[in-house]
């Protein structure tokens, strides 16, 4: 059933994109997005909690894995009155923000609300893209071309 699988992959990619935006959003941006999505009540499936994830690298960048060091991560899990469950895992220690993101993840899973959630997060994507471009422009100004001087023969 390749069609079912590919549509499943697309849905997962879209959900991950929403999760990525929530992770990068400022708390105020998530509050605004949630207000715009007319969120119903949500109960905690698991109260927001801060813990650690061990960040792994690869030897040589592409080889065997090793443990670089830990990162603080905050997670939340909620259930909407309609039954959908939402999850969030974010870098940092902001429990309120993780809970907001978990609610948005749950809302996104309601097919009739999916686009509203994505629209509500569009300003986050726009800010991120603007910041990325601004940083890329400042970095590009430091691009360097070194010339090698001929070594003298004597």
Partner 1 sequence: MYVAVKGGEAAIASAHRLLAEARRGDPAVPEIGVDQIAGQLALLVDRVMTEGSLHDRDLAALALKQARGDLIEAVFLVRAYRTTLPRFGASEPLDTGAMRLARRVSATYKDLPGGQVLGPTFDYTHRLIDFALAAEGASEPAAQAEPAPDAARAPRVTDLLGQDGLIEASPPDEGAPVGDLTREPLDFPAERDLRLQALARGDEGFVLALAYSTQRGYGRTHPFVGEIRVGEVEVEFVPEELGFAVPLGRLAVTECQTVNQFHGSAAEAPRFTRGYGLAFGHSERKAMAMALVDRALRADELGEAGGAPAQDQEFVLAHCDALQATGFVEHLKLPHYVDFQAELELVRRMRAEHAEATQEAAE
Q: How far apart are CA 17 and CA 80, in angstroms?
A: 21
Q: How far apart are CA 92 and CA 82, in angstroms?
A: 30
Q: Is 53 in the site for partner 1 (CB under 8 A)?
A: yes
Residues 72, 96, 115, 122: which binds partner 1 (CB under 8 A)? 72
Cβ proximity to partner 1: between 6 and 72 the closer is: 72
Q: Is 11 in the site for partner 1 (CB under 8 A)?
A: no
Stretch that binds partner 1, among 33-41, 84-92, 114-122 (CB under 8 A): 84-92
Stretch that binds partner 1, among 30-38, 61-69, 106-114, 115-123 (CB under 8 A): 61-69
DSSP element (H, E) containing 92: none
Q: What is the largest CA-CA distance in the chain?
A: 84
Q: Is 112 in the site for partner 1 (CB under 8 A)?
A: no
At residue 2, φ and ψ (nearest 5 deg) are -60, -35
| Residue 75 CB contacts under 8 Å (≥ 6 apart), including other chains | 46, 48, 49, 51, 87, 88, 89, 90, 98
Q: How far apart are CA 59 and CA 36, in angstroms?
A: 45
Residues 1, 28, 81, 140: which binds partner 1 (CB under 8 A)? 140
Residues 38, 92, 115, 122: which binds partner 1 (CB under 8 A)? 92
Residues that bind partner 1 (CB under 8 A): 12, 16, 19-20, 23-24, 49-73, 75, 77, 87, 89-93, 132, 134-146, 148
């Amino acid at each position: 059933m390749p069609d079912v699988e590919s549509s499943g992959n697309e849905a997962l990619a879209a959900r991950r994109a929403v999760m990525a935006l929530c992770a990068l959003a400022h708390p105020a941006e998530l509050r605004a997005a949630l207000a715009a999505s007319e969120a119903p009540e949500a109960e905690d499936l698991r109260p927001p909690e801060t813990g650690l994830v061990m960040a792994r690298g690869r030897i040589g960048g592409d080889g065997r894995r090793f443990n670089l060091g830990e990162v603080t991560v905050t997670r939340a899990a909620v259930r909407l009155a309609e039954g959908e469950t939402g999850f969030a895992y974010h870098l940092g220690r902001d429990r309120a923000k993780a809970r907001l993101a978990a609610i948005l993840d749950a809302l996104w899973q309601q097919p009739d609300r999916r686009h509203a959630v994505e629209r509500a997060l569009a300003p986050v994507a726009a800010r991120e893209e603007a910041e990325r471009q601004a940083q890329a422009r400042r970095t590009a100004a430091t691009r360097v071309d070194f010339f090698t001087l001929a070594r003298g023969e004597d």
